[in-house]
Structure 1
């Protein structure tokens, strides 16, 4: 409330009163803190009215004036501002005059609404309030809750065709760190949309006295395959029972300059080329390595293709070491070429220029071409670079191969006689309770003698050792013949098949190697060396492999557990009936449950290992309809794993990992379930 005016004549008295007020209140005004914003109620329901207010410690409402300020997005004014005098109390119980400024507002969006500092003036002095947070929620079953505030974070454009754009889905303005329980992100059209959960980091900021967190949910790398306007679709997240949905975000993509069409590179890159040896002999191999490093669309650009000028390309292999980053893929791609010459002479290798577009400098950069010369002689002692494809380092030793031969007991027919003792024990107990032990011994003795006398097919250790020696000497062709002969006699030895696959790769038979590794993974749970070799065989920047090496519980272990739990179930049942103890009945039920679990693991392994897989035998062009004269459709590279969905005469309908279908001849694919027939036809 205001101070009442003094009555009485005289301008001198009025001047003295004004001078007294200014001198008395000026020191206190300069020392005051920024007024705090107050919200009532807080939180508030969507589209409900709430009051925003702050207080100023001045004696008269006429001393306070409000300046124009921008309301937060989603907030609109219902009434105000209302400026009035109030009386406040000090800690000692005395009171003093002050001024209250209030607004009545509404919010048409949910979330934590961040209010800025509100400008106002006291006399001629400009001041501002502190910041504030109003929480706006929605009612569900009469309970007010605040939804998650989700948002796509992408860097500032412009963006270009083929550019790898990082996009992070974040939860904003969280007062505590919540972990998402369920995330739904529809794939964006118009390009490649790959998940990169390592993108983003938790950020915190102080807004007034409140700590707000920005928590990344997941990240993606979006690589548009053309120019135009694309969208990151709406995503929904649930965390600790609270849900939220983001808005879709438009991504405007411009066309690349024509000079970059050859490589399609967008980012910043550099190229290193390994030096060639000083010389080589006819028929010997040398290695050329071309390495691209940098950041951008490293996973999708096309490296420069060298011209070997008469040299024979024995094999090429590409490896990569890159990761997702805020500028796309960061790291390197390396292509290794094994070359040899069939005649002596000087050979010039030409590596063409590599153009790419740098979006940060908005310019086209062209790395210069490279020319290398290799001198090849017909003889003489010339040191050459050794082959670095260490296939022999991945091999299984003879001891490991022989151990694998004896682990899968379930493949031996006589082992299933071990399921007889349990039911027979129960049967004898029901028929001959007093003489059960004698009958059981008479039954099990011949059964045990039979099982001990039976044995699986043994492998010739010397033959396995001889094949290993050929593999270590890199005589892959001879080693392949020996391993194939042994594998035809022991087709269920996964480690033996894997060594054969190494030899097939060493002889340049990529498709046969892929097919044999698949057969190996069906016979034994693939370990790290198998998976490493599989990655080197099937890594491709143009195709996603259809088949992933299976992960399953070792069937040999699950079979032994099933055998043990099965017999213990009957033994516990007999003991429960004999001693008439309830806890023994519970033990019997426990062993029965464990038997079913072991059987489930065994059945799952059998299902995974029997999944049909096909491999493209050599580069082939699929067709839209099953006819030789039909239009060419999609080129499938050698070694690509595909799914056979239909057959029409001698044609098969294949489906790639992208879901693209095409017809090829039945002779153009290999099947892991017909391993030896396929390899025999190609030897």
Structure 2
């Protein structure tokens, strides 16, 4: 495409100075008497004055035919009179013809003008170009510049092309103090680094410069016209506006599957050739070339019925160039294999329109094969019957309210100190101690009997057998919402199942004994099929687990036992009882500190995850994104907010990460 230029007309013109001089190469001699010459009436004049230009043409003989072809008059001048032709003689008396022109300036500026062409005696002569300057607002020391857009005359809709704003006709290379450009409508506009070089116009000892100051990459939304608004440039105390330009936008060929405008190369690859059922594989599409990269679309791979799309990832690297955006853009489609067999992914061709050419081009278009093998891994979790659920409920000591019964014998023992008789007071203390020991054995040996919503659990098990995980989820959720199954017990079994037993069933970690057993029923296959849908929904709703089990029981036991030893020591003042009391208090302090540490300082995570890629997270202490751990690192999560989860690594770093960058492992 050929470029077009529109030169501006200044709005603030107050004075005029015209410098007209004949320029010769350095070291040249005076021109021959046979060569036409130019003379001016004055080197500098103001706007109210007139400038006279005399072109003298020597003749070999009077009446010799002469033809003068003047150059176009620059837009900064206006021709008033001329040419007036008059025969004259030179100082030596030889005949000459004088062509007189009278001009007046119309606006400030600086131009290269010439040459005049003279045809005489079968020969053609040219005068040297000369410099014309018109002053700015009557200031003899200032000459204005011109503001001009440079852009293609015609482009295509959705084609990305650069447009450049120039300051033209400068006597030296300078940058403006300020540039004001109105909003451009009808296209996506992005300012990019200046792409055009500084242009030069040389004549004799003078050089004019055309300096690019702004470059924008525009991408029209639709066909029609785009008007580049006039820009205002302030430089050295002068202000000039202009440069309005209209660019024609041609429509694209009618094609519903058009992906880009430019010149591209298209490649399609697969990440693996063999996967197992349930594993992920990727189809990577790469586009390279020059064109409208920010607005590219990709053809959608079709894996058939043997795989489902899980997510899409995109990477890109391109920069502005004189023909558009140059670089590459890549999109990876991640699929999960769901059935055994030979999977063929069909990839439609990438269709694009090259600028300046007719028709739509196609690149690529292929099929990639992936072998899907049968899954050979042991399920992480299996079904549990209702009887097993009941047995699991009492396996560990949780926040069992029966431990509070231990406070009653301790209080009675303290009241026994009020009995004046040592004999009867001693009997009372022994009875309180025996009662305390009996209650402790009852708590340890007899599991608590928590009611279970039998009907809802049976319905959930039936839905799981039919692999209707959505209704199973609703049934189990209804079972949990029906009543408080166990006071203070954590509701999520999956997040506590860190290890597997030899028989493939869940082995609960001692420190996570607060698991609500009925939730185990939903986890056999539901987590493998609905990882984020179920696991993360539970995670978002879970409260912080209060530390249950042995530490909690130890704290209550230590407090009550210390009370009993205190009452016995006050009654009998025995050194053995004092030592025993001190040991009991020490154990109680240790248990209490551990409970406080687990409940306040260190909160156990609700999931164990492994990152597939290096995690880029926003740490809680800083606002910038940092890499908190490399790929393959096991991290822990605790809170979910919208699409982000907070993760903690073993390296002491933490931050908020998009949940779709994590691969969830439950039961490992």
- In the superposition, the TM-score normalised over structure 1's length comes to 0.50
CA contact (8 A) 1:289 1:336 kept: yes
3-state DSSP of counterpart to 1:308: coil
* The structure with more radius of gyration: 2
How many pairs align?
Answer: 395
Aligned pairs for 1:129-208 (under 5 A) are: 129-139=127-137, 145-155=142-152, 157-208=153-204
The yes-or-no answer on 1:113 pairing with 2:111 is yes
The yes-or-no answer on 1:273 pairing with 2:301 is no
Residue 291 (structure 1) shift: 0.8
Relative contact order (alpha carbons < 8 A, sep ≥ 6): 1 or 2 greater? 2
The yes-or-no answer on 1:319 pairing with 2:474 is no
CA contact (8 A) 2:40 2:54 kept: yes
Tell me the equivalent position of 2:253.
257
The whole-number CA distance in structure 1 between the counterparts of 2:55 and 2:164 is 38
The yes-or-no answer on 1:53 pairing with 2:48 is no
The whole-number CA distance in structure 1 between the counterparts of 2:128 and 2:121 is 19
The whole-number CA distance in structure 1 between the counterparts of 2:64 and 2:335 is 89
The whole-number CA distance in structure 2 between the counterparts of 1:34 and 1:305 is 74
- Residues 257-316 of structure 1: CA distance to partner in whole angstroms, max 9, x if unpaired? 102x43352211111112442311223222321111111212112222222324233332
Task: Evaluate the alpha carbon distance shift between residue 165 and residue 347 of structure 1 in structure 2; reply closer, same or farther with a 3 A threshold.
Answer: same
Question: Structure 2: where are the runs of 5+ without partners?
Answer: 1-28, 378-599, 616-628, 641-645
Residue 375 (structure 1) shift: 0.8
The whole-number CA distance in structure 1 between the counterparts of 2:601 and 2:612 is 18
Task: Evaluate the alpha carbon distance shift between residue 498 and residue 299 of structure 1 in structure 2; reply closer, same or farther with a 3 A threshold.
Answer: farther
Structure holding more helix per residue: 1
Aligned pairs for 1:238-637 (under 5 A) are: 238-259=234-255, 261-263=256-258, 265-310=260-305, 311-378=307-374, 481-482=636-637, 484=639, 499-502=654-657, 504-507=659-662
The yes-or-no answer on 1:65 pairing with 2:63 is no
The whole-number CA distance in structure 2 between the counterparts of 1:72 and 1:208 is 21
3-state DSSP of counterpart to 2:656: helix
- Residues 469-527 of structure 1: CA distance to partner in whole angstroms, max 9, x if unpaired? 99989999995644659xxxxx9x99999843247352389xxxxxxxxxxxxxxxxxx
Residue from 124, 127, 146 that aligns with 1:126? 124
CA contact (8 A) 1:291 1:333 kept: yes
- Residues 617-651 of structure 1: CA distance to partner in whole angstroms, max 9, x if unpaired? xxxxxxxxxxxxxxxxxxxxxxxxxxxxxxxxxxx
Task: Evaluate the alpha carbon distance shift between residue 231 and residue 47 of structure 1 in structure 2; reply closer, same or farther with a 3 A threshold.
Answer: farther
Residue 35 (structure 1) shift: 5.1
The whole-number CA distance in structure 2 between the counterparts of 1:281 and 1:99 is 98
3-state DSSP of counterpart to 2:360: strand
> Cα RMSD between the aligned structures?
4.5
- Residues 394-451 of structure 1: CA distance to partner in whole angstroms, max 9, x if unpaired? xxxxxxxxxxxxxxxxxxxxxxxxxxxxxxxxxxxxxxxxxxxxxxxxxxxxxxxxxx
- Residues 341-392 of structure 1: CA distance to partner in whole angstroms, max 9, x if unpaired? 13322222122122221222233212242211111112589xxxxxxxxxxx
CA contact (8 A) 2:635 2:650 kept: no
CA contact (8 A) 2:267 2:287 kept: yes
Task: Evaluate the alpha carbon distance shift between residue 470 and residue 320 of structure 1 in structure 2; reply closer, same or farther with a 3 A threshold.
Answer: closer
- In the superposition, the TM-score normalised over structure 2's length comes to 0.51
Residue 324 (structure 1) shift: 1.0
CA contact (8 A) 1:233 1:249 kept: yes
3-state DSSP of counterpart to 1:314: strand
